[in-house]
Structure 1
Amino acid sequence: MKQVVWIVMMCFAINGYSQSEFSSKFKAIPPVDTSVKIKKTPPPTVAPPDIVAPNILKKPETKFQSTTFKIGDPDPISMIQTNDFINPGDEVRDKMNKSINKSLVNSGLKEDTSYLNQKDLDFGTIRTKSKTLLIRVRDYGAIDGDLIKATSIHDYKSIVLVNNLYLDSGFRDIHMDLKEGLNYLELEALNRGSLGGNTGAFYIYDSAGTLLLSDLWNNFDKGVKSKFTFIKE
């Protein structure tokens, strides 16, 4: 019996002690703060920009780029069509046409006119005091039926001196009267010879028989002219 009472008393003693140890005055130890602390820096202060209203009454200053353009130089901006952009097919087409033409000529199906002179030939100006001129002409190559026409022009008036003059191996004479001032002479090829272009040689003499000029024309196409200018002093 005594042992039971002793055990009960010990239990009350232990309970009382425990309550006094874990009373409301107990303070727990806070955990250690291991987080990284970031120092916050305030952003710099930026002054607002100065806004100035434009003056609509003031003319803007126009700045032009410097240029070295001079009068007489080609215009850098042109509306005229040029050959800067060429179709590559045109070159191929032209070569094919030349090749075809050459084949036709070689086979006798087309006449070769590439050698013909198609521009008038000016033999210059001759000064003379003679009242008349003698022009002697002939075919200097093979006789193949060349025909010419001779015309004199003065004061915008034309006079046919000879027409359908046949050029032979011998000389044919043409007489021309000169008037004060400018006088023009044109020898026109009326056809092509059967062996090629119209060819001829000429000799021009004054009334005293002095040779003033001699030369020739070669392979003229039909309608091409030899031109002369005479000034009667």
Structure 2
Amino acid sequence: MKQFLLVVMMCFAMNSFAQTEFGKKFKPIAPLNNKVAPKKVTPSVSAQAPVIKAPDLLKKPEQTLPSFSKYEIGQTKSFSMEQTNEFANPGDRVMEKMTKDLNKTLVREGLKEDDRFLVKIDKNFGEIRTKSKYFVVQYRDYISIDGDLIKATINNQMIGGIMELYSSYGQFVFNLNEGFNVFEMEAFSKGSSGGNTCEFKIYDDHGVLVRSEYWDNWDKGVKGKFVIIKE
């Protein structure tokens, strides 16, 4: 019993000493605040979700065409097999008009033949009376040199072959029979610029000019005839 009381008293004494020793000097330290405060983030405009407008399924969609179109809604372009110049080069129309104007000028000035006025009927140049033994015929193209060809015959016999006309004179000679002789000159071709054109002069055996004639814008195959009577 004494021992028990002794122990109780010792414990009481130690407790009193401890309270007296640390009661005035000891101040407890508060624990550190280690909790991390959350960072406040302000959402930017780009992060916002886009506004999506749902289509109205009951509304009929509007029909529009580009501003450069010349057609309107409900109009259709008529179909045609006819060739048009919708996409033609404007320069081609100018060149075509210039060509037509130039052709008209050349025809008017006598520098070009016009196919619309081709002579298609043979011509009789009449009768020639002479005592000459032969005739000399000079011939040339008096308008444009475009490849005109002629053929000459005396009493159905060809003279000198097929002859081409140039600006300078060519010539051929044929003999005359006693009595009637039929002399013909034929436009053997058309030139590249129109009908056949020819100027010719007929001389006797003394160099005297007997007849001077010409033809203008003859079609291929047209003939000019002379009846020559040798007296």
Question: TM-score normalised to the size of structure 2?
Answer: 0.50
Q: Distance in 1 between matches of 2:185 and 2:116?
A: 22
Q: Aligned partners of 1:162 and 1:208: how far apart in 2?
A: 21
> What are the ranges of 5 or more consecutive residues in structure 2 without an aligned counterpart?
1-95, 100-113
Give the structure 1 partner of residue 118 of structure 2. Answer: 116
The residue correspondences of 1:58-69 to structure 2 (distance < 5 A) are none
Q: Which one-letter code corresponds to 2:127 in the other structure?
A: T
Provide the C-alpha distance between the structure 1 equivalents of 2:122 and 2:172, rounded to a whole number of angstroms. Answer: 20
Residues 34-65 of structure 1: CA deviation (Å, up to 9, x unaligned)? xxxxxxxxxxxxxxxxxxxxxxxxxxxxxxxx
Aligned match of 2:186: 188
Answer yes or no: is 1:141 the counterpart of 2:143.
yes
The ranges of structure 1 where at least 4 consecutive aligned residues each deviate by more than 4 angstroms after the TM superposition are none
Equivalent of residue 129 in structure 1, options 120, 128, 131? 131
Task: Look up the equivalent residue of 1:140 and give its one-letter code.
Answer: Y
Instruction: Give the 5 Å matches for 1:24-173.
Output: 113-153=115-155, 158-173=156-171
Q: 2 CA distance for matches of 1:147 and 1:224?
A: 12
CA RMSD of aligned residues (A): 1.7
Where structure 1 has 5 or more consecutive residues not aligned to the other structure, the ranges are: 1-105
The yes-or-no answer on 1:198 pairing with 2:196 is: yes
Q: How far did residue 114 of structure 1 move?
A: 2.5
Rounded Cα–Cα distance in structure 2 between residues aligned with 1:163 and 1:118: 23
Paired with 1:136 and 1:229, the residues of 2 have a C-alpha distance of: 18
CA distance in structure 1 between the partners assigned to 2:115 and 2:210 by the alignment: 33
1:190 shift after superposition: 1.0
Q: Secondary structure at the match of 1:202?
A: strand
User: How many correspondences in the alignment?
Assistant: 121
- 1:76 maps to none
Aligned partners of 1:115 and 1:179: how far apart in 2?
Answer: 37
Output the CA distance in 2 between the equivalents of 1:190 and 1:148.
Answer: 5
Q: Percent identity?
A: 47
Larger radius of gyration: 2
SS of equivalent to 2:166: coil
